[in-house]
Amino acid sequence: MDNIVLFLLFFLFVVLQRSIEIFVARKNEKWMKDQGALEFGSNHYQYMVIMHALFFVFFLVEKISLNRDVSQFWPLLLSVFVFTQIMRFWVISSLGKYWNTKILVLPNVNVVRKGPYRFIRHPNYVVVTLELIVVPLLFGAYFTAILFTILNLLMLSVRIPAEEKALKELTEYEGSFQSCNRFFPKLLNKYDN
């Protein structure tokens, strides 16, 4: 199969997936707000949306203009991508109606501690970060991978504290997640009970 055709099929798959996620997020947002959820971080949300939209623009332009071959490490990169898709599904299904692209918090509701949330606080951000690296690297879009990894880290440095602050104020988040790291599971040691 031609390199560009393969790329376009992959690109359309990811865009379709994000479109479905936006639909799910909007449906969940309506349900949560009907239940009394409060929204936080709306001042940075628009920049996050712009960043993710620009990711697709930069990725498409870089790939088409430079037309590099698929990475020689494609089996590893594709495996990581498949892993992120499994994780994404696990995250969304674990949170159910609470999953959203916005910071929406229902006061005094038990925080979700199932699925990947048993092991880390922010598995969704791990998935997004891995995707922003792996997806462009798979097709040799190195500039896109570097630029959007940096932009994503800057965005998360604002978003995660805003999300955690909201959860700490309105739920038992801090107590529920005291045994979890943000991004990596804690390794058990001989002193853990």
Q: Is residue 181 part of a domain?
A: no
Using one digit for the tens of pLDDT, what is the confidence trace for 89-131? 999 999 999 999 999 999 989 999 899 999 998 999 999 999 9
3-state helix, strand, coil in the chain (%, to 5): 70, 5, 25
pLDDT on residue 3 = 79
pTM of the prediction? 0.89
Any idea what the CATH number is for the domain that residue 44 is in?
1.20.120.1630
Q: Is residue 191 part of a domain?
A: no
The total number of structural domains in the chain stands at 1
Q: At what angle do helices 123-138 and 142-170 cross, to 10 degrees?
A: 170
pLDDT on residue 182 = 72
| Residue ranges of the chain whose pLDDT lies below 50 | 188-193
Q: Is residue 70 part of a domain?
A: yes
Q: Is residue 188 part of a domain?
A: no
Confirm if 100 and 161 have CB atoms less than 8 A apart: no
pLDDT on residue 25 = 97
The position carrying tokens 């038990």 is 110
Q: Is residue 135 part of a domain?
A: yes
pLDDT on residue 187 = 62
- Which residues constitute the domain of residue 41? 3-176
Using one digit for the tens of pLDDT, what is the confidence trace for 171-182? 888 877 877 867
- Is residue 78 classed exposed, middle or buried when 0-12, 13-18 and 19+ CB atoms within 10 A define those classes? middle
Q: Is residue 126 part of a domain?
A: yes
Q: Is residue 193 part of a domain?
A: no
pLDDT on residue 176 = 79
Query: Phi and psi (nearest 5°) for 70?
Result: -60, 145
Q: Is residue 167 part of a domain?
A: yes
